[in-house]
């Protein structure tokens, strides 16, 4: 089957087309013919080897972390799906590889595609929608009336997180550039801070939750807008020991991650708030929770552009160069 893969870490021009054997289908797997996949910053970090110390992959590695497609084969123990079903999914972190014609995915990680969406729209959602759900519903347990700040509201995670937070009854603030203000307001943001004109930490205060997608100084300044007891959840900050435990990492890796996050955790403790790192997990159940909201139009995908499969490397470069105006970049296989 055709794929886009890397043969070594850190080689930016090294994302190349290649042929790989069709995947083996386990008893609990569905084999999906991929119609579309989306590009995520995670693909770039994996390409560069950012997680190789604690998430070793066998090279060559096919990139790609979410998909929409059609089931073409089911394993002997599969009860939930049949050949011909249209599905969408974020494969488990150990079974990535959606920049390909086919992929075998555990049935627990798959959901029926929202009927109202095209394949391209559906492919844009799994990773970012699950990230938003796990941050706001699982981790933060956002309740009606709470104040939530979502950074980079026009980005892939931001566009979905704004809409989900509103469905949870929160008052939502976000940061965006001047040209994106109207978009994030349309998505439901109550307060928009144009970061080209204002420093968010000087105009926002008393927030219950911050979802950080940027890391660095933005993460550090986010502590200032939280009220006592507040939470900052980051998908871009330093990993912590809790994440290492989730991975089942050894003691040395846990100590390293604890050290990496020590500074931000100490700063958070001084302000009587908490910091946690989120590396989202595959979950078909959570996608099924999201699907009715999507089909009702309460959460809508935002797709910036669509590239043909043979231009997958250009799609990755487009995202890396920050050229996407809003939402997700999608690669279509058909």
Please report the beta strands in the chain, taking only residues with DSSP state E, as ranges in sequence order: 2-6, 16-19, 29-39, 61-62, 67-74, 86-89, 102-106, 110-112, 147-150, 171-176, 191-194, 207-212, 226-234, 274-277, 303-308, 328-332
- Residue located via tokens 């941050």: 135
User: Is the predicted pLDDT of residue 12 greater than 80, yes or no?
Assistant: no
Phi-psi group of 206: left, alpha or beta (phi > 0 → left; psi -120 to 50 → alpha; rest → beta): left
Least confident of 7-16, 81-90, 91-100, 124-133: 7-16
DSSP H or E run through 145? none
Q: Which two tokens stand for residue 212?
A: 């950080």
Best CA proximity match to 237, nearest among 203, 279, 288: 279
Question: How confident is the model at residue 101, as a pLDDT?
Answer: 98
In CATH, what is the architecture of 127-277?
3-Layer(aba) Sandwich (3.40)
> Does residue 173 or residue 14 have the better pLDDT?
173
> Does residue 37 or residue 242 have the better pLDDT?
37
3-state secondary structure of 69: strand
8 Å CB contact between 133 and 290 = yes
| Mean pLDDT within 311-320 | 96
Confidence of residue 334 (pLDDT cuts 50, 70, 90): confident
The structure's pTM equals: 0.96
Question: How confident is the model at residue 251, as a pLDDT?
Answer: 79
39-72: pLDDT as tens digits:
999 999 999 998 887 778 999 999 999 999 999 9
Domain ranges across the chain: 2-124+301-332, 127-277
263-295: pLDDT as tens digits:
999 999 999 999 999 999 999 999 999 999 999
Question: How confident is the model at residue 178, as a pLDDT?
Answer: 96
DSSP H or E run through 144? none
C-alpha–C-alpha distance, residues 114 and 89, integer Å: 11
Confidence of residue 30 (pLDDT cuts 50, 70, 90): very high
2-124+301-332 maps to which CATH number? 3.90.180.10
Mean pLDDT score of the chain: 95
DSSP H or E run through 167? helix 156-167
């Amino acid at each position: 089957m055709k794929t886009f893969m890397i043969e070594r870490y850190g080689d930016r021009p090294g994302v190349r087309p290649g042929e790989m054997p069709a995947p083996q289908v386990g008893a609990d797997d569905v084999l999906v013919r991929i119609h579309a996949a989306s590009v995520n910053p995670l693909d770039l970090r994996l390409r560069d080897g950012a997680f190789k110390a604690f998430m070793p992959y066998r090279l060559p590695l096919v990139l790609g972390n979410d998909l929409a497609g059609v089931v073409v084969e089911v394993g002997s123990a599969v009860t939930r799906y049949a050949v011909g079903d249209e599905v969408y999914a974020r494969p488990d972190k150990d079974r990535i590889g959606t920049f390909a014609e086919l992929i075998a995915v555990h049935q627990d990680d798959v959901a029926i595609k929202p009927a109202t969406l095209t394949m391209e729209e559906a492919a844009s959602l799994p990773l970012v929608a699950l990230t938003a759900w796990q941050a706001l519903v699982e981790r933060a347990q956002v309740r009606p009336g709470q104040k939530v700040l979502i950074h980079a509201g026009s980005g892939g995670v931001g566009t979905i997180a704004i809409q989900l937070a509103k469905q949870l009854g929160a008052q939502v603030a976000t940061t965006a550039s001047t040209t994106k203000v109207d978009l994030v307001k349309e998505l439901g943001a109550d307060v928009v801070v144009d970061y080209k004109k204002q420093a968010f930490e000087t105009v926002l205060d008393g927030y219950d939750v911050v979802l950080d997608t940027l890391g660095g100084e933005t993460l550090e300044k986010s502590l200032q807008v939280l009220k006592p007891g507040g939470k900052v959840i980051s998908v871009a900050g330093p990993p912590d020991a809790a994440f290492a435990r989730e991975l089942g990492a050894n003691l040395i890796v846990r100590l390293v991650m604890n050290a990496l996050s020590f500074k931000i955790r100490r700063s958070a403790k001084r302000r009587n708030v908490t910091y946690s790192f989120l590396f989202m997990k595959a979950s078909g159940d959570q996608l099924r929770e999201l699907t009715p909201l999507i089909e009702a139009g309460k959460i809508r995908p935002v797709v910036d552009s669509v590239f043909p499969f043979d231009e997958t490397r250009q799609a990755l470069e487009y995202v890396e160069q920050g050229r996407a105006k809003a939402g997700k970049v999608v690669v279509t296989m058909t």
